[in-house]
Amino acid sequence: MDLTDRPRRLRTDGLRPLVSETTLHETDLVAPVFVDATTDERVPIESMPGHERVPVDAAVERVSEVLETGVEAVIVFGIPESKDEQGSRAYASAGVVQEAVRRITAETDAYVITDVCLCEYTDHGHCGVLEPHAEDDPTLTVENEPTLDLLAKTAVSHAEAGADMVAPSAAMDGMVGAIREGLDAAGYSDIPIMSYAAKYESAFYGPFRDAADGAPAFGDRRHYQMNPANAREAMREVALDVEQGADVLMVKPGLPYLDIIRDIREAYDHPVAAYNVSGEYAMLHAAAEKGWLDLDGVAHESLLSLKRAGADLIITYFAESVAKTLSAGYRA
């Protein structure tokens, strides 16, 4: 055989890293942080090994732990001390996220992103104001326009507390435009919006809903989150968010939607984010606990695939552990 083209020549130890097409860095990662106003101690999240809900008093300590790994950004989620039909603690100036953000920004150099939604704050667990009789009628869920007003109020309250970026996740039509208008009117025109632009109604969210205490009390979110079968619809959603002023475009979940990440990367010059969600994290941990997979290896490969597909930044529960392996010189 006369093989002039031998790809294996490029796979020797010295050359392999030099020709690597995709590289993962600690600064590509965003670590989720759960702050819980109902506890005065750290509470492990059983379905997400290695993660905890922390009290407001421990928020700075928790973020400092993230920064020590080389990860520079966090996204903050809150569990309020009380809930109501309107989710009023989401936009309260003394709310759990607002108080945590004030402390984190005052005492650390972390880049602080906040999730903007109402599901953790409503007593029904849906992402906005309910339509009349929604609890009894499976064809009804959330009223769009009244919810937009509350999302804008929430985003402004986060900016007032010191958030560097807001990330609306409620999957409401027009939410980016409403938030952009609200931020600009309040004097926060420099605060960027990372939109959950293509957010699917996914079975991979289960552990997060335990962590954030945000599961719906009835029904599901199929009337506002996207159908997992649809790709063209994702591009329509993204186009609308771009028109309304989104600065960063997110796909959630990540691994089951690599095609969507690639489509957005090829169509837009905006930064693209991928959310490597709780179910993706939990299933790898479960397999590793059985001895079926090497956890460090599959975690690194999972995040590398998201970046290879086109993600510029990755929100992941593996942020700290992967950052530690990267700093230790991990090689795939």
Report the SS3 class of residue 280.
helix
Query: Looking at this protein, which amino acid is placed at residue 166?
Result: V
CA distances from 127 to 123, 144, 322 (A): 10, 10, 31
- What's the pLDDT score for residue 127? 82
Q: Is 237 annotated as a binding residue?
A: yes
Residue pLDDT tens, the chain, 332 long: 788 999 999 999 999 989 999 999 999 999 999 999 999 999 999 889 999 999 999 999 999 999 999 999 999 999 999 999 889 999 999 999 999 999 999 999 999 999 999 999 998 888 888 878 777 777 768 889 999 999 999 999 999 999 999 999 998 999 999 999 999 999 999 999 999 999 999 989 878 666 656 666 665 666 778 899 999 999 999 999 999 999 999 999 999 999 999 999 999 999 999 999 999 999 999 999 999 999 999 999 999 999 999 999 999 999 999 999 998 877 66
Q: Is 221 annotated as a binding residue?
A: yes
How far does CA 46 lie from the centroid of its chain?
Answer: 19
Residue 90 CA to residue 80 CA, distance in Å, equals 8
Residue 77 contacts residue 32 (beta carbons within 8 Å)? yes
153 has catalytic annotation: no
Strand 272-276 with 248-252, pairing? parallel
Choosing from 153, 199, 290, 307, the catalytic residue is 199
β-bridge mates for residue 274, sequence order: 251, 314
- What's the pLDDT score for residue 155? 98
Residue 320 CA to residue 303 CA, distance in Å, equals 12
Choosing from 153, 252, 290, 307, the catalytic residue is 252
Which residues make Cβ contacts (< 8 Å) with residue 184, sequence separation at least 6? none
* Residue 21 burial (10 A CB sphere; 0-12, 13-18, 19+): exposed
Q: Which of 271, 274, 248, 245 is nearest to 261 (CA)?
A: 274
Residue 170 contacts residue 201 (beta carbons within 8 Å)? no
- What's the pLDDT score for residue 39? 95
Q: Is 209 annotated as a binding residue?
A: yes
CA distances from 20 to 16, 242, 261, 263, 332 (A): 6, 32, 20, 22, 10
Q: Is 278 annotated as a binding residue?
A: yes
Report the SS3 class of residue 77.
strand
Q: Is 320 annotated as a binding residue?
A: no
User: Interior CA angle at 179 toward 177 and 185, to 5°?
Assistant: 100
Q: Is 317 annotated as a binding residue?
A: yes
Residue 268 contacts residue 315 (beta carbons within 8 Å)? no
Residue 226 CA to residue 199 CA, distance in Å, equals 6
Which domains are delineated in the chain? 23-245 (3.20.20.70)
Cα-Cα end-to-end distance for the chain: 31
Strand 43-44 with 52-54, pairing? antiparallel
- What's the pLDDT score for residue 202? 92
- What's the pLDDT score for residue 191? 98
